[in-house]
Amino acid sequence: MLYIQPAIFSTLAFASWAAANLVPSPIFKRADTWGGSVSLGPTKSTIVKAVTTIIPGPAPPTQNGVLFLWPGMSNGTGDLIQATLESWQSNSWCGATTGQWCVRASVFGWFGQLDGNPSPVSGSDQVRIEYALQADKNTWLQTVTNAVTGALLSTYSSPSGPYMRGYGTGTECNDNCSGTIAAQSYINTVITLASADTTFGGTIATAGGATYSGLTSSDGGKVWSIASISIPAMSKAPQTTTTSKTTTKATTASTKTTTKANTTGGSGGCSAPQYAQCGGNGFAGCTSCASPYTCKLQNEWYSQCL
């Protein structure tokens, strides 16, 4: 596990993969913190298409850990579709220069993290991220383009199934990252459902100072749009101060999963978005979930905001 590619280590997903496979990893330290978020779901229907355009603002000029921005879609138990804008200590692996992000289509599931080809993007770029269920009703095609020029930045296709029910933004800080230094905007977000669900808009939730405007529906509640989402820059101070403890007796021990009660909001508090990990043996990140989600025990190694 130590030799796993850094990219696999660093996403939301790795912990749940480890959890799902019941792999105790005493060497694995996590101290995730989260920026603001906006999310919707679960729908009574299913999502068949989701499009948004993110304007990420400049990436931190120096990076202490790893920082990810993503719009994510899942049903809580299956794959997490999450095209990611990434900030690493060096982003030269995608051709980016200081202040630029690397973007790539990406999916996380029981298999780990799988990524499309990456491209660099600048802070003022408009990065359009589309997830579309294909005619076979099983394959999701992710298409990432520059919304202004139409240039293709990344694609990925995965058999992630027809039961997607939740969608939301994530600003995820791993390994004591340097947080976002500017706000992110997500504009022209449009989520299309398989059938009308007039209650879907009512499931919208915000955390960490994120705001949205222009939530509307059409087609009797089948198509939902959010004109604008704004995620504030993260404060310099880490939002979660818990340091991880590594446990050496991995396999034995009836370890208890901590599912601490909420400490949502306020400076110094934290709130993990929908579908984020919020507990589990060895987990040292944020254990509070953004309202209305609660931290649900999945197994000894993994609790999740649902």
Contact residues: ligand NAG, CB under 6 A: 64, 75-78, 161, 163, 176, 243, 261-262
List the one residue out of 257, 278, 261 whose CA is nearest residue 12: 278
The DSSP line for 48-96 is EEEEEEEE--PPPSS-SSEEEEEEEEE-SSS-EEE-EEEE-S--GGGT-
Q: How far is the CB of 136 from ligand NAG (least distance, A)?
A: 12
CB nearer to ligand NAG: give 77 or 134: 77
Of the pair 44, 163, the CB lying nearest ligand NAG is at 163
Closer CB to ligand NAG, 163 or 194, in the complex: 163
Question: Least distance from C-beta 177 to ligand NAG, angstroms?
Answer: 9
Which lies closer to ligand NAG via its Cβ, residue 103 or residue 305?
305
Least distance CB 91 / ligand NAG (angstroms): 18
Identify which of residues 163 and 223 has a Cβ nearer to ligand NAG in the complex.
Answer: 163
User: Shortest approach of ligand NAG to residue 58 CB, angstroms?
Assistant: 19
Instruction: Compute the least distance from the CB of residue 289 to ligand NAG, in Å.
Output: 9
**Least distance between ligand NAG and beta carbon 252 (Å):** 28
CA dist., res. 293 & res. 272, Å (int): 9
Neighbours of 83 (CB within 10 A): 30
169 and 231 Cβ atoms separated by less than 8 Å: yes
Residue 104: enclosing H or E segment and its boundaries?
strand 101-104
Q: Are strands 140-146 and 66-74 parallel, antiparallel or unpaired?
A: unpaired
Cis peptide before 60 (omega within 30 of 0): no
Residue 188, CA distances (Å) to 133, 222, 306 in order: 19, 16, 26
Give the nearer residue to ligand NAG in terms of CB position, either 98 or 117: 98
